[in-house]
């Protein structure tokens, strides 16, 4: 390993010096006659799948796969947009519906309808009608409550967005900042979906008056400020996922629950990158992500629901990680058009 790295370094340095030496720069990419044997997957930094599965894909496809993870979902999409003229890789996975609109309007992916995805599931989770983005998994971003805290105080657990603004729940809620966190952005979208635009700003005004705490990111909100997790913080209400309670189970009991009327449905897509060197390999990888093995592995490793709804879920999820019956939805195109304005206006109104 280190020897190949050293060799790589030598080549790199030689290349660097050559580049500095001659101003004409790099050569044009060479077209290759044979089918490519490598595949580059661009994903986000939460990407996690069973190593044995990934290995199996390499063996069955005969492709050598490289994974690149430049940051969160937003960073991923922005990097794809920036590198359109010289694509980062062959296939992207992890573009969520709060960024899907930007990916679609910038045309960073090309159409591919995978046969591995049942038509009904595809229709339920599609970003638009062009199949440029294939849904792989989804999840609900919801407010979580520390049920034991409410029991101890003899208080009812709040249920709706409106409840959160009521005086009896003053100073209890912590949310991640929409400007620096994707679950935070999902919650902002939920308030837009439920209260309208610009009604959402009035709702946030009410939340602010009711003492909502804005944390930098999910980690601070959930693991430091929330009373129901490892950090034992002061606040019993936190914006997280509907699946989070399944990870807090001790001795068969979950001390937290998701408030299913406050959920925004987040959908993660994959797509063949426009200008990919290995588009066939990219399609194979999308089929692989939708295969029964990977779909069954997604809840454990990615904490999301599989897009293929026939997939069997882990036992604890059936009990402690229910999906919302009526998630709040906002079309990807609407989000793409307005997201920057929402975030800026939200920042002005809530942070000041």
Partner 1 sequence: MGRRLGWTLAAAVPLAFLGVFFAWPVATLVARGFLDDGGLSWAGFEAVFAAPRTWRVIGTTLAQALAGTMASVAVGVPGAWLLYRTRFRGRWLVRALVTVPFVLPSVVVGVAFKSLVISTGPLGGLGLDGSFGLIVASLVFFNYAVVVRTVGALWAALDPRTAEAAATLGASPARVWWTVTLPALAPAIASAAALVFLFCASAYGVVMVLGGAGYGTIETEIWFLTSQLLDLRGAAALSIVQLVVVAACLIVSNHLQARQARAQKFATDAAHDAPWRWRRDWPTTLVTAAVVGGLLLFPIATLLERSLRTASGHGLDHYLALGSAGGGPLTVSVWQAAANSLRTATLATVLAVVLGLLVALVVSRRPRTPSGRRALGVLDAVFMLPLGVSAVTVGFGFLITLNRPPLDLRSSMILVPIAQAIVALPLVVRVLLPVLRAIDPRLREAAQVLGAGPWRVLASVDLALVSRGLGLATGFAFATSLGEFGATSFLARPDQPTLPVMVFRLIGRPGLESQGMAMAAAVVLALGCAVVMGIAETMRPKEATTW
User: Among 109, 114, 134, 225, which residue interacts with partner 1 (rule: CB under 8 A)?
Assistant: 225
For position 206 contacting partner 1 by CB under 8 A, the verdict is no
Distance CA(14)–CA(127), nearest Å, equals 45
CA distance 25 to 214: 48
Shortest spacing between CB 287 and partner 1, in angstroms: 20
Stretch that binds partner 1, among 109-117, 148-156, 189-197, 214-222 (CB under 8 A): 214-222
- Which among 16-24, 132-140, 203-211, 264-272 is the span making contact with partner 1, rule CB under 8 A? 16-24
By C-beta, is 111 or 351 nearer to partner 1? 351
User: Interaction with partner 1 in 28-47: which residues (CB under 8 A)?
Assistant: 29-30, 40, 43, 45-47
Question: Is 2 a residue that touches partner 1 (CB under 8 A)?
Answer: yes
Which run of H or of E encompasses 36?
Answer: none
What string of DSSP letters covers 104-125? HHTT-EE----TTS-HHHHHHH
As beta bridge partners, residue 144 has 238, 258
Q: Applying CB under 8 A, does 288 fall inside the site for partner 1?
A: no
Our CB check for partner 1 shows the closer of 85 and 119 to be 85
Residues contacting residue 337 through CB under 8 Å, at least 6 positions apart: 101
Bridge-partner residues for 238, per DSSP?
Answer: 144, 174
In the region spanning residues 68 to 97, those forming contacts with partner 1, defined by CB under 8 A, are 68-72, 74-75, 78-79, 81-83, 86, 88-89
Nearer to partner 1, 55 or 166 (CB): 55
Q: Can residue 18 be called a binding residue for partner 1 (CB under 8 A)?
A: yes
CA distance 104 to 101: 5
Could you tell me the smallest distance in angstroms from the CB atom of residue 263 to partner 1?
16
Per rule CB under 8 A, is residue 219 in the interface with partner 1? yes
Number of residues counted as binding partner 1 (CB under 8 A)? 82
Looking at residues 226 to 255 of the shown chain, list those that interact with partner 1 (rule: CB under 8 A): 227, 229-234, 240-241, 244, 247-248, 250
- Closest separation in Å from C-beta 348 to partner 1: 8
Angle at 251 between CA 246 and CA 253, to 5 degrees: 50
Cα–Cα nearest to 143, from 270, 220, 236, 53: 236
- Nearest Cα residue to 88 out of 69, 106, 107, 74: 69
Secondary structure of residue 8 in the 3-state scheme: helix
147 contacts partner 1 (rule: CB under 8 A): no
Nearest to 240 by CA among 305, 173, 191: 173
- 5, 60, 130, 160: which one binds partner 1 (CB under 8 A): 5
Of residues 131 and 256, the one with the C-beta less far from partner 1: 256
The Cα–Cα gap between 322 and 260 comes to 8
Examine residue 9 and tell whether it contacts partner 1 (CB under 8 A): yes
Tokens of 312: 């069997």
**Residues numbered 101-140 forming contacts with partner 1, rule: CB under 8 A:** 102
Q: How far is the CB of 315 from partner 1 (least distance, A)?
A: 16
Alpha-carbon torsion angle 131, 134, 138, 142, nearest 10:
-50
Residue of the chain from 187, 269, 303, 320 that contacts partner 1 (CB under 8 A):
303
Torsion over CA: 230, 235, 236, 242 (sign)? negative
């Amino acid at each position: 390993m280190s020897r190949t790295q050293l060799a790589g370094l030598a080549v790199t340095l030689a290349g660097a010096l050559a580049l500095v030496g001659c101003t004409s720069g790099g050569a044009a990419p060479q077209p290759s006659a044979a089918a490519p044997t490598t595949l580059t997957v661009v994903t986000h930094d939460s990407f996690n799948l069973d190593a044995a599965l990934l290995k199996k894909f390499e063996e069955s496809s005969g492709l050598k796969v490289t994974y690149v993870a430049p940051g969160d979902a937003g960073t991923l999409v922005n990097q794809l947009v920036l590198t359109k003229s010289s694509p980062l890789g062959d296939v992207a996975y992890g573009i969520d519906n709060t960024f899907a609109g930007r990916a679609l309007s910038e045309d960073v992916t090309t159409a591919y309808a995978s046969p591995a995805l049942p038509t009904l599931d595809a229709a339920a989770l599609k970003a638009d009608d062009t199949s440029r983005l294939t849904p792989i998994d989804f999840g609900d971003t919801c407010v979580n409550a520390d049920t034991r805290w409410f029991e101890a105080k003899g208080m009812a657990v709040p249920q709706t967005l409106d409840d959160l603004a009521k005086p009896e729940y003053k100073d209890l809620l912590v949310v991640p900042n929409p400007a620096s966190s994707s679950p935070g952005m999902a919650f902002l979208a939920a308030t837009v979906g439920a209260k309208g635009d610009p009604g959402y700003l009035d709702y946030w005004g009410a939340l602010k008056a009711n003492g909502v705490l804005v944390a930098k990111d999910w980690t601070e909100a959930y693991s430091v400020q929330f009373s129901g997790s490892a950090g034992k913080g002061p606040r019993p209400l936190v914006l997280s996922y509907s699946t989070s309670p399944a990870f807090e189970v001790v001795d068969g009991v979950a001390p937290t629950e998701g408030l299913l009327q406050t959920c925004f449905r987040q959908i993660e897509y994959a797509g063949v990158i426009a200008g990919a060197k290995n588009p066939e390999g990219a399609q194979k990888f999308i089929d692989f992500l939708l295969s029964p093995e990977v779909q069954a592995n997604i809840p454990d490793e990615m904490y999301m629901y599989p897009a293929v709804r026939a997939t069997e879920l882990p036992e604890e999820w059936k009990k402690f990680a229910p999906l919302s019956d009526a998630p709040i939805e906002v079309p990807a195109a609407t989000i793409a058009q307005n997201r920057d304005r929402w975030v800026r206006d939200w920042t002005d109104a809530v942070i000041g």
